[in-house]
Structure 1
Amino acid sequence: MRTSPRRTLAAAATLLGLTAIVAPVPAPAAPAPQTAPSASAPGSVIADWARLTAEVVDPENRLISPEKALWHALVSTGMYNAVVGIEGRYEPYRWNGRAPRTASAVAAAATAAHDVLRHYFPQAAARLRAAHAASLAAVPDGWAEKAGVAFGHRAATHVIALRKNDGHGARVAFPASPAPGVWRPTPSAYRPFTTAWLARLRPLLMDRPDRFRPGPPPALPSARYAADLNEVKAYGAKNSRVRSRWQTDTARFFVDLDLQGALADRAARNGLDLVDTARLFAAVNTVQIDATIAAWDAKLHYGTWRPITAIREADRDNNPRTQADPAWEPLLETPSHPDYLSGHTTTTGALARTLTLLSDSPFLDLRITSAFAKETRYYASAYEYNRDCVGARTWAGIHTRTANTVGTRTGERVAAWALTRHFRPLADQPADRPADRPTR
């Protein structure tokens, strides 16, 4: 005999440690610092080309965030190699190219970004050429500019060669199944798992896609599975009676975040120079795509059904703690890939750990804007940022809490592993050029 909805929700709350029904919701993110990024910031060439990358690779905003992340990673690593190959201070990314210290690092960075984008998006050639000319206009004419341009060409060529036959866009089969627990296309669009190739994409930093594959999700007959499902059923419903206004706003906030703008803001407010700005963008963007690969590897391997399917077909899960609701709808549209792991929380965990490791401080200092919610929030700590994202994907009705929390931990592991092997300070760093540390 199935238990009542009220008793199952209470049991879910007890198991998951939920207090939202009787306790106040977490305080909103703190007000953001008022210092605005300067157009003449030392690393502005990096931010400018990151901004242009977003516009060139997805002019009609049709790609999902993980697809766009790859292009940001390639452009930023090209710029990073171009800059540190001249200025030093940090190890280049999978390269030993060097240029004279008198070459222009700004010209090199702009050229590397131009060439990478021009290679993959030839239809944007005229726009890229104009942007390249604008970047070079800020560099005095002469030998330094020419040497920087030449080195930028080399840096781009190397990155492009590294990614040859990397699996981008390859056909990776995922046979949808009507079996309980197995993912299948979801309402309302019923799109297939078209981004399965991300699970087999050659990583930029990891040695293989399954390096950080977590253990399996909770079994369908388990108490944990029921607690997960009953939580998202109650809090993630389109017309939920228990989700607070703040939780609804937070669910909407963690959609279409402007990460590149947040990195530019962080670099400018902390006074990072060109070298550290290039490192910031390259480290964050490469870790982001590898975290995505880790999440998609788990999605493809475990292939778990989404909450909307699980709730509508709960009478088939062999779990007496769940009850089916054939008309249930989530707050937000369900993406077209499996539940476990959550891509959002995996990349969020990776971002927070990357930023704190780069600055060698637990202070996150992240101001980020949601294009979807048209809202900017400031997060002082990684805990708050991760907490809100985990909650957001549950309150949106599109992920279980386990998929979210395990995703966060997986992203943190990816970042920690990657940054002990890449973007490290040079061991023979000259005494008169110490590595910059961000200031607050």
Structure 2
Amino acid sequence: MGRFSSSGRAVVRTVTAFLLLAATAVAGPTATADSGSHSAPSADPAAIREWNVIATDTITASLGARPSGQAAIWHGFVSAAVYNAVVGIEGRYAPYKWHARGPSTASPEAAAVTAAHHVLLTYFPASRAPLDAAYAGSLAKIPEGQAKRQGVAFGERAAEHLIELREGDGRFAPVEFTASPAPGVWRPTPPAYLPFIDTWLGRLRPLLLTSPDQFRPGGPPALSSARYAEDVNEVKTMGAKSGSSRTAPQTETALFFGGNLVVQFQEAFRDYTARHHLGIAETARLFVAGNASATDAVVATWDAKLHYGFWRPITAIHLADTDGNPATEADPQWQPLLVTPPHPDYVSGHAAVAGAVTQTLSGILGTTRLDLNVSSEITGTTRHYEYADQFNKDMINARVWSGIHSRTADTAGCRAGNRVGAWTFTHYFQPLHSPRLHATPPIQPTCPLGSAS
């Protein structure tokens, strides 16, 4: 899964031109060279949702069940290119690190699908066949004419700009976790004892932040502290696979958030933008704001994981007789409800992404009343979250009740995510000519009050 060279990108442009001709043929003999030129350029926001589904399927097929934050990175890239393609034509919001403007007569819809296709094909070349087929289908829905041609051309420019921005950003760079096993230090966990996965995420150049450690939180509690003992004993009691004190609803909450949170958010974004009838620019903005903040929340999370390297609850409980804390007791047979992912406890990636996305959306929407419908592939259920803090409260509890994170790791992650989200909203994606552009209006934190030390 690498990116194309300049010659590879030329191939992408050639394929795009071919697909545009193919889509012209699909449109039928009644389509003239300038048909639709006297009507408003095609700008159906459903195209963004459609290509978000395609992006989700493409990314998921490549990564599989990989227990990493990688999915957020790729969604961030795609959403940024699509956003620039749309607002570069519509001109309503500040583009992402770009000053180019497309012709006002261009089709934002053609630009959006072209940008999404181009970025996905660049980073996931093995998916060429389904991506090209989907792209031809999308182009065939757009009336032929100058607006479509201009939209395709500008979408290509937006994608190329994003790809060039991400050159040399640290993807897949060899980053080693070298800490030797000791009390409090992370080490591979059962049952698979996998090594620290995707360490490069902690050194990746962020999309929005100035550096991966910009919002690095203070460290985890000392092993000798009362807070540490409370964390360990809570997970031991509430997060056990068997013999837990969890209620049935608490177990359902743990399982509900036990899958890919990034995928859950994509479904929620699609549902929200459709139910609220957002236009194409507003739809592109919501997707990029949510996904770019999630990207940087993952980077910030992995930075903290690399820096602190704190052991997971399963290790802390198995080796409690080595922590020097008289309030903890070892249980070598203890197992968590969910399998522990192969990376350190502090901080929680799920909680950080949730905190970032909810904070960003609160800024974009101007309220913490988010009205999100969130589905879970694991439980097969859908939950309605009216307010951001309700979502984050469930997320924090879920990771404790699943036995894979300490409460401190969750709350610190959520708060770090809130800071990423506030930065996102106050520095990017603002309306053009708005007095709030680059301002820092107060935004109510979306993490539950009193949830962290």
Same fold (TM over 0.5): yes
Q: 2:56 is matched with which residue?
A: 54
SS of match in other structure, 1:380: strand
Q: CA deviation at 1:176?
A: 4.9
Q: 1:277 is matched with which residue?
A: 283
Distance of 1:338 and 1:122 partners within structure 2: 32
Q: 2:108 is matched with which residue?
A: 105
Q: 1:184 is matched with which residue?
A: 187
Q: CA deviation at 1:255?
A: 2.1
Q: 1:217 is matched with which residue?
A: 220
SS of match in other structure, 1:259: helix
Which letter does structure 2 place at the counterpart of 1:415? G
Assess, with a 3 A threshold, how the Cα gap between structure 1 residues 254 and 56 changes in structure 2: closer, same or farther.
same
Distance of 1:109 and 1:240 partners within structure 2: 51
Assess, with a 3 A threshold, how the Cα gap between structure 1 residues 307 and 428 changes in structure 2: closer, same or farther.
closer
Which letter does structure 2 place at the counterpart of 1:262? A
Q: CA deviation at 1:428?
A: 7.1
Q: 1:370 is matched with which residue?
A: 376
Q: CA deviation at 1:57?
A: 2.2
Q: 2:306 is matched with which residue?
A: 300
Distance of 2:102 and 2:158 partners within structure 1: 10
Distance of 2:117 and 2:324 partners within structure 1: 56
Q: 1:5 is matched with which residue?
A: none
Is 1:161 matched with 2:164?
A: yes
Distance of 1:332 and 1:177 partners within structure 2: 26
Aligned counterparts, 1:30-45, within 5 A: 42-45=44-47
Which letter does structure 2 place at the counterpart of 1:230? N
Distance of 1:290 and 1:103 partners within structure 2: 32
Q: CA deviation at 1:241?
A: 3.5
Higher normalized contact order (CA 8 Å, seq sep 6+, divided by chain length): 1
Is 1:255 matched with 2:258?
A: yes
Q: 2:413 is matched with which residue?
A: 407
Which letter does structure 2 place at the counterpart of 1:243? R
* Percent of aligned pairs sharing the same letter: 54
Describe the superposition over 1:143-183 as per-residue Cα deviations: whole angstroms up to 9, x where unpaired.
00000000011000000001111111211100253200000
SS of match in other structure, 1:58: helix
Distance of 1:155 and 1:41 partners within structure 2: 17
Q: 1:30 is matched with which residue?
A: none
Distance of 2:175 and 2:379 partners within structure 1: 33
Describe the superposition over 1:371-400 as per-residue Cα deviations: whole angstroms up to 9, x where unpaired.
122211110011110000000000000000
Distance of 1:270 and 1:423 partners within structure 2: 19
Distance of 2:198 and 2:299 partners within structure 1: 11
TM-score, L = length of structure 2: 0.84
1:139 to 133, 137, 142: 142
| Residues 271 and 373, structure 2, Cα contact 8 Å, conserved in 1 | yes
| Residues 368 and 388, structure 2, Cα contact 8 Å, conserved in 1 | yes
Distance of 1:214 and 1:404 partners within structure 2: 12
Q: CA deviation at 1:311?
A: 0.4
TM-score, L = length of structure 1: 0.87
| Residues 58 and 124, structure 2, Cα contact 8 Å, conserved in 1 | yes
Distance of 2:378 and 2:168 partners within structure 1: 34
Aligned counterparts, 1:204-353, within 5 A: 204-256=207-259, 257=261, 258-353=264-359
Q: CA deviation at 1:44?
A: 1.0
Q: CA deviation at 1:89?
A: 0.7
1:390 to 370, 388, 396: 396
Q: 1:20 is matched with which residue?
A: none
| Residues 292 and 346, structure 1, Cα contact 8 Å, conserved in 2 | yes
Q: CA deviation at 1:261?
A: 1.2
SS of match in other structure, 2:427: coil
Assess, with a 3 A threshold, how the Cα gap between structure 1 residues 182 and 389 changes in structure 2: closer, same or farther.
same
Assess, with a 3 A threshold, how the Cα gap between structure 1 residues 318 and 206 changes in structure 2: closer, same or farther.
same
1:360 to 338, 362, 366: 366
1:151 to 151, 154, 157: 154
Distance of 2:70 and 2:142 partners within structure 1: 33
Aligned counterparts, 1:4-153, within 5 A: 42-59=44-61, 61-64=64-67, 66-153=69-156
Which letter does structure 2 place at the counterpart of 1:268? A
Q: 1:7 is matched with which residue?
A: none
Which letter does structure 1 place at the counterpart of 2:420? V
Which letter does structure 2 place at the counterpart of 1:294? A
Is 1:195 matched with 2:201?
A: no
SS of match in other structure, 1:225: helix
SS of match in other structure, 2:382: strand
Which letter does structure 2 place at the counterpart of 1:357? G
| Residues 44 and 109, structure 2, Cα contact 8 Å, conserved in 1 | no
Which letter does structure 2 place at the counterpart of 1:153? E
Which letter does structure 2 place at the counterpart of 1:269? R
Distance of 1:45 and 1:402 partners within structure 2: 41
Assess, with a 3 A threshold, how the Cα gap between structure 1 residues 182 and 284 changes in structure 2: closer, same or farther.
same
| Residues 238 and 330, structure 1, Cα contact 8 Å, conserved in 2 | yes
| Residues 41 and 268, structure 1, Cα contact 8 Å, conserved in 2 | no
Gaps of 5+ in 1: 1-39, 430-440
Distance of 2:345 and 2:66 partners within structure 1: 19
SS of match in other structure, 2:69: helix
Q: CA deviation at 1:41?
A: 10
Q: CA deviation at 1:97?
A: 1.1
Which letter does structure 2 place at the counterpart of 1:48? E
Which letter does structure 2 place at the counterpart of 1:177? S
| Residues 352 and 413, structure 2, Cα contact 8 Å, conserved in 1 | yes
Q: 1:31 is matched with which residue?
A: none
Higher alpha-carbon deviation: 83-92 or 125-134: 125-134
Assess, with a 3 A threshold, how the Cα gap between structure 1 residues 119 and 230 changes in structure 2: closer, same or farther.
same
Gaps of 5+ in 2: 1-41, 436-453
Q: 2:21 is matched with which residue?
A: none
Distance of 1:380 and 1:240 partners within structure 2: 33
Distance of 1:428 and 1:145 partners within structure 2: 30
